[in-house]
Amino acid sequence: MDLFARCRNFTRAKEAMEAGIYPYFKPIQSGAGSEVIIDGRKMIMIGSNNYLGLTNHPKVKEAAVNAIERYGTGCTGSRFLNGTLDIHEELEERLAAFVGMESSLVFSTGFQTNLGTIATIVGKDDLMFTDRSDHASIVDGCRMAFGKTLKYKHNDMEDLERVLEAHKDKDVGKIVVTDGVFSMEGDIVNLPELVTLAKKYETKVYVDDAHSIGVLGDHGRGTANHFGIGDKIDLVMGTFSKSFASLGGFIAGDEIVIQYIKHHSRAFIFSASMPPSAVATVLACLEIMESDTERLEQLWHNTRKMKEGFDSMGFNTIQSQTPIIPILIGEDEDCFYFWKQLFENGIFANTAISPAVPPHEALIRTSYMATHTEDQLDKVLKVFHKVGKNIGII
């Protein structure tokens, strides 16, 4: 058996490239703003998770430069040994306070945060209850854990209770792991009912707030704050590659839990720590988020405008409630052709096909920033209407 046989049999990407409809790995020749340069021409970017538009904020860039001047470009080791800087600890203290938890721990990527936390806290025979639309990092974290994963229908609390009820007599550790905002659908978890069920069945609650921090709640404090139930959540996870304009992630919870993760998570202990510029960037973004509400208000103004615009044209935006607004297309090839026409008209969006979404439910994933202008958004709607008519989606 040739180990690389499956590699040679993978022809899907090559076929899309030859057809001129391959939408991935497009090199961007500029910063991550509401406009980018690709192939030497300006494009309106609606495929970014830069919700607050902070990647080019002068104070954020200045903080990153100053950190390099003071600390250099990297830490050359893991947090466990030589890679902990004073600003790592400052960031952890401030993040814990921001999300209303006792303590927090920063990882080098968001994916690693879920992977390293879930695989560490879930022991043999423990049970993990996960939404079928949870992010891949949650899926892989559960695969690495020694416990058993039980899935329930997307954001369906009746189905969650069915699964919890079926295992109520198991004398093991239990945890529900869910996204706060689902990254493809753009909807918000029914957290109040989920928390009620978790309490009823003596189950811990873990919320992945990757797409919620900076978007939901007071000053963007996340899903639990949005619903006013911050004291009902056991663990909150967040990433820095979205509203925080950097790279990395964090987990926040009770001090004793964070200390355990800190001393047992292989993904944390054996990975190099976040570089100083990335840490300083997050700290600067956090300061802006804590002091400024105008960006958050503008983000939601832009979100409402685009959701209403797409819906009025007849696009299926699924159940979106956030700046993530998916446009359901259907078949993969149709989705690629839709993307190509958008691209040719100066719009950069993302395509999501199986396994990122269910088969035959391919979509164009759009997402919006506080820094998008009215003219940019009007052009996006105009182009979508034109392409939607051309392809027969509307």
* Residue among 88, 174, 204, 242 flagged as catalytic: 242
Q: What is the identity of the amino acid at 204?
A: K
Q: How far is CA 388 from the centre of its chain?
A: 27
* C-beta separation of 318 from 185 below 8 A: yes
The C-alpha atoms of residue 49 and residue 203 are separated, in whole angstroms, by 31
* C-beta separation of 260 from 102 below 8 A: no
The C-alpha atoms of residue 91 and residue 279 are separated, in whole angstroms, by 7
Residue 74 has, within 13 A of its CA and on its CB side, a CA count of 7
Do the bridges between strand 249-253 and strand 235-239 make them parallel or antiparallel, or are there none, so unpaired? antiparallel
Of 281, 207, 195, 180, which is closest to residue 240 (Cα–Cα)?
A: 281
Structure tokens at 164: 């919890």
The C-alpha atoms of residue 281 and residue 245 are separated, in whole angstroms, by 7
Q: What is the DSSP letter of 181?
A: B
Q: Is 264 a catalytic residue?
A: no
The C-alpha atoms of residue 209 and residue 288 are separated, in whole angstroms, by 19
Structure tokens at 349: 């969006």
Backbone angles phi, psi at 81, to 5 degrees: -110, -95
Question: Strand, coil or helix: what is 349?
Answer: coil
Q: Is 242 a catalytic residue?
A: yes
Q: Is 226 a catalytic residue?
A: no
The C-alpha atoms of residue 361 and residue 32 are separated, in whole angstroms, by 28
Interacting residues of 39 by C-beta distance below 8 A, sequence separation 6+: none
Of 47, 20, 16, 15, which is closest to residue 34 (Cα–Cα)?
A: 47
Q: How far is CA 110 from the centre of its chain?
A: 8
* Residue among 211, 226, 307, 340 flagged as catalytic: 211
* Residue among 34, 104, 183, 265 flagged as catalytic: 183
The C-alpha atoms of residue 16 and residue 18 are separated, in whole angstroms, by 5
The C-alpha atoms of residue 391 and residue 394 are separated, in whole angstroms, by 8
Residue tagged 């790995």 (tokens): 25
For the annotated catalytic residues, the residue numbers are 183, 211, 242
